[in-house]
Structure 1
Amino acid sequence: MIPLENWRRKGQWFEHRGHPIFYIDEQRGPGPALLLIHGFPTASWDFSDIWPLIAPRFGRVIAPDMIGFGFSAKPPAYPYDLVDQADLHEHLLARLRVNEVHLLVHDYGVSVAQELLARHLARKPPRLELQSVALLNGGLFPETHRARLVQKLLLGPAGPLISRLNNPQRFARSLSAVFGPHTQPSAAQLDAFWKLMKENGGHRLGHRLIRYILDRRRNRDRWVSALQETPVPLRLINGPQDPVSGAHMVQRYRELVPRPDVISLEGIGHYPQVEAPEAVAEAFLTFVDAHAPPA
């Protein structure tokens, strides 16, 4: 695990809609680029355990904290939505002059990737060439996303109050509940996750960020069609013990996505890259090698 402060020291900043956004851009030389897109409610540090296992296979690895998350700005009145988060990633890649990229995405990030896949289909030629997309646990289909009680409360009229009541103990219980029974987060990991959430007052924004659930419903047809029609190679790497997007989501994926490429990691929950980094790295790198071997 890369310590949180070391992760922060690796970072840089750019502006999105006038707000400072944290990102890591590690360049190693020739070879393909990899973009890591994190989930809710955490940040790019989610990939810290898997980073040393996969980064050496790429010429460049890029990992931002989306607006509202991690070390990035968390403006209280910002209209947070997934389409804007896709814009943020496109703006960052354009700034870095990256035109071709592999994606490894998790949770909230799978919806950002679906929007990028939809844009890839619609633009002729595409502005950003997606070379492959590996999807970790996330709500690919609104009809299979089993929101936790706290998520339902945040989305309802009491959302602002629920956000104000957030504290380290409630956060730890809620996050631990989506991990596998034998791969629970350590006290140090939970402390780091909480610090990332609390940074810039983000622990009070849950009721605003949670509206991604509504974004998924509004964009369901566009984003599911993107999975079904894309020429970009896809692989789903899933922790089936996840109560939110586990085995039940995989079943729906197999029903809807042509020629589904699925890896299920027995005993693993919602955070495969944290719970089983070696297994995820192996599944991801063999997939990338099969479709576009790194130089």
Structure 2
Amino acid sequence: MEQVIPRAGDAPLAGGAATLECWQQAGTWFSYEGHAIFSRMAGEGEPLVLVHGFPTASWDWSRLWPMLAQHYRVLAVDLLGFGFSDKPVDYHYSIEDQADLLQGWIEGLGLPQISLLAHDYGCSVVQELLARDQEGTLPFAISRVCFLNGALFPEVHRPLLIQKLLCSPLGGLVSRGLTRGTFNRNFSRLFGDRHGLTAAELDNFWQLLTYNNGRGILHRLVHYMEERRCHRNRWVGALQQARQPLRLISGMADPVSGVAMAMRYRELVPAADVVSLRGVGHYPHYESPGEVYRAFRNFSTGR
């Protein structure tokens, strides 16, 4: 099944992003393996866990957050190494470890059942959680999963040059030497024509990345791309064998995981449910929050 959301009509539901200061002040921290993890919660109703992408943080959801909080108990974290969470230098970052973090947090909150909305790096974390669900090792149930642009199928992922360099033997030097100008040029490429980033928006994303020496660990975090290749059968199998309803909301102007990823999803996932957003890039929830809200709400309510 495929739906195409037209370009017009987003304005009535599109919200402004919260300032970084407000976002941080409204959060709380918990401990994971001795490290401080930033989290946000709001709203009432069915628990909905949001999982962000690389190299950003939970603030990505800030434009979509108030819409979702009208109907759901919305929960999000900055994964270890991201945003306002700790960013240890000598740490073996992995998708499986981030899944452990989320699993422990959700269990600690005493939630018997959740829905998941994931983007980019977060899609891989959720694929691991789905695999655990199928193995019967999760202490909670997953009712539904919605994916935004992410490398669900590594064979059609098209990383930017900067990502390739971070994965190379020179990754440490590239990470520590990343300049604001290089970041601006590469990050801006991920967005569609409908939402060109302003200087203030780029400044917010840069602050999140560099907070607490974040530049120094980018080369460690980016090895998730190799993990995707190593665990490809497990994580793709988790999609193909999922018992829950799945939906992909895809920004079709995304140069790294857009059109080709959506096509591959339709090829490999049974009864594939895809919502295509025209003119939207890699960050649909930030670029066009109203469209993403409607697509998720329709999915959640079965309409």
Task: Assess same fold via TM > 0.5.
Answer: yes
Q: CA deviation at 1:204?
A: 1.8
For residues 49-60 of structure 1, what are the structure 2 equivalents within 5 Å?
A: 49-58=63-72, 60=73
After superposing the two structures, state which structure 1 stretch, 179-188 or 155-164, moved more.
179-188
Q: Give distance in 1, aligned partners of 2:66 and 2:28.
A: 19
SS in 2 for 1:6: helix
The 8 Å contact of residues 166 and 204 in structure 1, kept in 2 or not, is answered as no
Query: For residue 155 of structure 2, what is the aligned residue in structure 1?
Result: 143
Query: For residue 215 of structure 1, what is the aligned residue in structure 2?
Result: 227
Q: Give distance in 2, aligned partners of 1:117 and 1:188.
A: 37
1:117 aligned to which of 101, 122, 130: 130
RMSD: 1.1
Query: For residue 46 of structure 1, what is the aligned residue in structure 2?
Result: 60
| TM value normalised by structure 2 | 0.93
Give me the identity figure in percent.
49
Residue 237 (1) aligns with residue 249 (2): yes
Query: For residue 180 of structure 1, what is the aligned residue in structure 2?
Result: 192
Q: Give distance in 1, aligned partners of 2:140 and 2:257.
A: 28
Structure 2: stretches of 5+ with no match in the other structure: 1-16
Q: Give distance in 2, aligned partners of 1:185 and 1:82.
A: 29
Q: Give distance in 2, aligned partners of 1:42 and 1:240.
A: 20
Query: For residue 6 of structure 1, what is the aligned residue in structure 2?
Result: 22
Q: CA deviation at 1:181?
A: 2.4
The 8 Å contact of residues 240 and 266 in structure 1, kept in 2 or not, is answered as yes
Q: Give distance in 1, aligned partners of 2:74 and 2:179.
A: 33
Q: Give distance in 2, aligned partners of 1:32 and 1:48.
A: 19
Which gives a bigger RCO, structure 1 or 2 (Cα 8 Å, sep 6+)? 2
Query: For residue 86 of structure 1, what is the aligned residue in structure 2?
Result: 99
Q: Give distance in 2, aligned partners of 1:139 and 1:189.
A: 24
Residue 15 (1) aligns with residue 27 (2): no
The 8 Å contact of residues 53 and 121 in structure 2, kept in 1 or not, is answered as yes
1:198 aligned to which of 203, 206, 210: 210
Equivalences, count? 287
Query: For residue 179 of structure 2, what is the aligned residue in structure 1?
Result: 167
Query: For residue 11 of structure 2, what is the aligned residue in structure 1?
Result: none
Residue 68 (1) aligns with residue 81 (2): yes
Structure 1: stretches of 5+ with no match in the other structure: none
SS in 1 for 2:302: helix
Q: Give distance in 1, aligned partners of 2:180 and 2:68.
A: 31
